[in-house]
């Protein structure tokens, strides 16, 4: 097998492979034109390598002219995307230079097709055969150089200036690495190709054209840089996820902080009753004829209030439970009831009596109790906030549950100030808030939680004023058939 064939075929296949990889990157992320441009460049370099291989072994003048013409098209298709790649990727390149280079090459391409033979030669008169040191015979042309080729030689010089200028500016802005790898790479290899090719054209040195190798080197340096970018962004994504988790923990602590005063109030009630009852009992016992029946009642009440305090602490403990949420079949009505009683203090402070409309015989949903409670607390606390400016007697908060096929819907509706139309699409975004002291994480976390359980959360502005939040959770497997009423 010919070494020349192997070398050029190898170059072509590497170019095509890199081109495919860059194309895949672009398809995954179409907002990044750099991948499309570098992919175009790589494919063109691959085509160029194959054309060069053809030029090495062609025996007829006619096909040599055609191949030469198309080789110029391939070079155009390498250089122009490269120039615009620099434009897009560096962000420091001069646009007018890019335009000028493109224009020069478009002109060059026109001449390429209008000239009798190609942009390179006015006339290819003869094919010369040379022998490599290892004894392979290949073809080089002899002919008259096209004076219009000066256009694209100027373009090559401009590319050097353009890339050099953009790299220096990028370097100054702190992008030393990119400036070195891509800018330096391009300049070095364009220079190399720019010196080598005219020398071959002019018949001064007798080697094959090696344009594609120079651009392969450039494409490899680009790929290196782009792969590095991709790895970095994966790392950033991971870091972002970690900080998101931290923010979620923070938001949960924040929510609990808000609940502290209402919980203090909740605990105070039974404690207060226990104290007064005990003191009353002591007084009654000290009297001459202690009313034993009443003292019995007092003790019963003390036991009941003690239980009540213990329940509050139990619920709080469940809500505070750390660690991974456990998916378990949940009776959504029971979870809601528990959450609402946790918020009793909040309701009485805001003077809102929630209307509960729970569907009967709802199937269980598969979710984490604590997380669902967190979502519900968030929605209720938002609703209470929205009702703050309403007259007390008009404040309305409805919490309802219904079944919808194999989903369970939880709806929290208030008639408060509602959500502005333009805010609706953004309301679940992280850090989006209209509260002066809000983190903007509550609804973002709520959505993440609900979606993690295969559900959805929807916000609507109620026409009559107010907002409705609907959480839709899938029924736990094995529950679908049960109670399909």
Partner 1 sequence: MPDKSTRIFIIDDDHSVRTSLARLLGAAGYATEVFACAEDYLARERFDGVACLILDVRMPGSSGLELQDTLNELGSDLPILFLSGHGDIPMSVKAIKGGAVNFLTKPVREEVLLSAVKQALSQHRLNRERHDSMENVRASMATLTSREQEVMRFILSGARNRQIATHLGITEKTVKAHRAKIMGKMGVSSAVELGRVCTLLEITPNTITDD
Structure token digits, residue 200: 């071959």
Of 257, 153, 140, the residue nearest 205 (C-alpha): 140
Contact 460, 409 (CB under 8 A): no
Structure token digits, residue 179: 């400036």
d(CA 120, CA 209): 12
Q: Which of 268, 314, 321, 480 binds partner 1 (CB under 8 A)?
A: 268
Q: Is residue 307 within the footprint of partner 1 (CB under 8 A)?
A: no
The secondary structure of residue 359, as a DSSP letter, is: P
Shortest Å distance, C-beta 275 to partner 1: 4
How many helical (H) and strand (E) elements, i.e. helices and strands, does the chain have? 13, 9
Please name the residue that has the structure tokens 């439970």.
321
Facing residues of 63 across strands?
Answer: none
Shortest Å distance, C-beta 306 to partner 1: 11
Q: Which of 54, 81, 345, 368 binds partner 1 (CB under 8 A)?
A: 345
User: Which CB sits closer to partner 1, 346 or 371?
Assistant: 346
Q: How far is CA 123 from the centre of its chain?
A: 55
Give SS3 for 182: helix
Q: Is residue 305 within the footprint of partner 1 (CB under 8 A)?
A: yes
Stretch that binds partner 1, among 248-256, 257-265, 328-336, 419-427 (CB under 8 A): 257-265
Q: Which of 63, 173, 241, 261 binds partner 1 (CB under 8 A)?
A: 261
Shortest Å distance, C-beta 254 to partner 1: 19
Q: Which of 284, 340, 390, 472 binds partner 1 (CB under 8 A)?
A: 284
d(CA 225, CA 230): 9
Q: Which long-range contacts (C-beta less than 8 Å, at least 24 apart) are formed by 193-198? A: 194/153, 194/156, 194/157, 194/160, 198/153
Q: Which of 169, 196, 265, 456 binds partner 1 (CB under 8 A)?
A: 265
Q: Which of 21, 271, 366, 398 binds partner 1 (CB under 8 A)?
A: 271
Contact 328, 438 (CB under 8 A): no
Q: Is residue 384 within the footprint of partner 1 (CB under 8 A)?
A: no
Q: Which of 244, 269, 333, 337 binds partner 1 (CB under 8 A)?
A: 269
Q: Could you list the beta-strand ranges (E) of 266-360.
A: 328-330, 355-358
Q: How many residues bind partner 1 (CB under 8 A)?
A: 32
Q: Is residue 341 within the footprint of partner 1 (CB under 8 A)?
A: no
Shortest Å distance, C-beta 398 to partner 1: 16
User: Which CB sits closer to partner 1, 28 or 282?
Assistant: 282
Q: Is residue 426 within the footprint of partner 1 (CB under 8 A)?
A: no
Residues in contact with partner 1 by CB under 8 A are 261, 264-265, 268-277, 279-280, 283-284, 287, 294, 298, 301, 304-305, 308, 345, 347-349, 351-353, 392
């Amino acid at each position: 097998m010919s070494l020349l064939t192997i070398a050029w075929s190898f170059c072509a296949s590497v170019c095509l492979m890199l081109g495919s990889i860059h194309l895949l990157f672009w398809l995954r992320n179409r907002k990044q034109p750099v991948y499309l441009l570098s992919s175009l460049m790589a494919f063109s370099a691959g085509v160029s390598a194959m054309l060069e291989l053809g030029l090495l072994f062609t025996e007829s003048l006619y096909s040599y002219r055609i191949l030469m013409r198309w080789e110029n098209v391939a070079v155009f298709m390498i250089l122009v995307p490269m120039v615009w790649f620099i434009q897009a990727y560096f962000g420091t390149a001069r646009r007018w230079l890019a335009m000028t280079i493109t224009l020069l090459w478009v002109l060059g391409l026109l001449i390429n097709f209008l000239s009798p033979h190609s942009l390179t030669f006015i006339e290819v008169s003869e094919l010369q055969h040379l022998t490599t040191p290892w004894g392979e015979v290949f073809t080089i042309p002899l002919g008259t150089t096209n004076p219009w080729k000066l256009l694209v030689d100027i373009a090559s010089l401009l590319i050097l200036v353009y890339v050099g200028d953009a790299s220096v500016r990028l370097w100054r802005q702190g992008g030393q690495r990119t400036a070195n790898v891509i800018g330096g790479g391009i300049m070095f290899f364009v220079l190399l190709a720019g010196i080598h090719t005219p020398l071959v054209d002019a018949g001064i040195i007798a080697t094959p054209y090696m344009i594609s190798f120079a651009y392969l080197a450039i494409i490899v340096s680009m790929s290196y840089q782009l792969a590095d970018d991709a790895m970095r962004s994966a790392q950033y994504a991971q870091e972002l996820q970690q900080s998101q988790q931290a923010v979620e923990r923070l938001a949960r602590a924040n929510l609990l902080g808000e609940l502290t005063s209402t919980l203090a109030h909740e605990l105070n009630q039974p404690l207060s009753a226990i104290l007064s009852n005990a003191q009353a009992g002591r007084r009654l016992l000290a009297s001459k004829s202690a009313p034993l029946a009443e003292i019995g009642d007092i003790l019963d009440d003390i036991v009941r209030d003690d239980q009540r305090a213990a329940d509050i602490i139990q619920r709080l403990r469940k809500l505070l439970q750390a660690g991974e949420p456990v998916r378990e079949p949940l009776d959504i009505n029971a979870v809601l009831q528990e959450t609402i009683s946790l918020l009793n203090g909040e309701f009485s402070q805001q003077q809102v009596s929630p209307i509960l409309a729970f569907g009967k015989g709802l199937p269980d949903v598969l979710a984490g109790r604590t997380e669902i409670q967190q979502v519900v607390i968030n929605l209720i606390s938002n609703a209470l906030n929205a009702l703050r400016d309403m007259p007390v007697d008009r404040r309305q908060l409805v919490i309802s549950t219904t079944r919808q096929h194999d989903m369970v819907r939880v709806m929290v509706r208030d008639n408060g100030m509602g959500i502005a139309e333009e805010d609706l699409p953004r309301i679940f975004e992280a850090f989006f808030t209209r509260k002066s002291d809000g983190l903007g994480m509550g609804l973002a976390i709520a959505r993440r939680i609900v979606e993690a359980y295969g559900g959805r959360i929807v916000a609507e502005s109620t026409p009559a004023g107010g907002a409705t939040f609907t959480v839709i959770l899938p029924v736990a497997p094995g529950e679908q058939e049960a109670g399909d009423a």
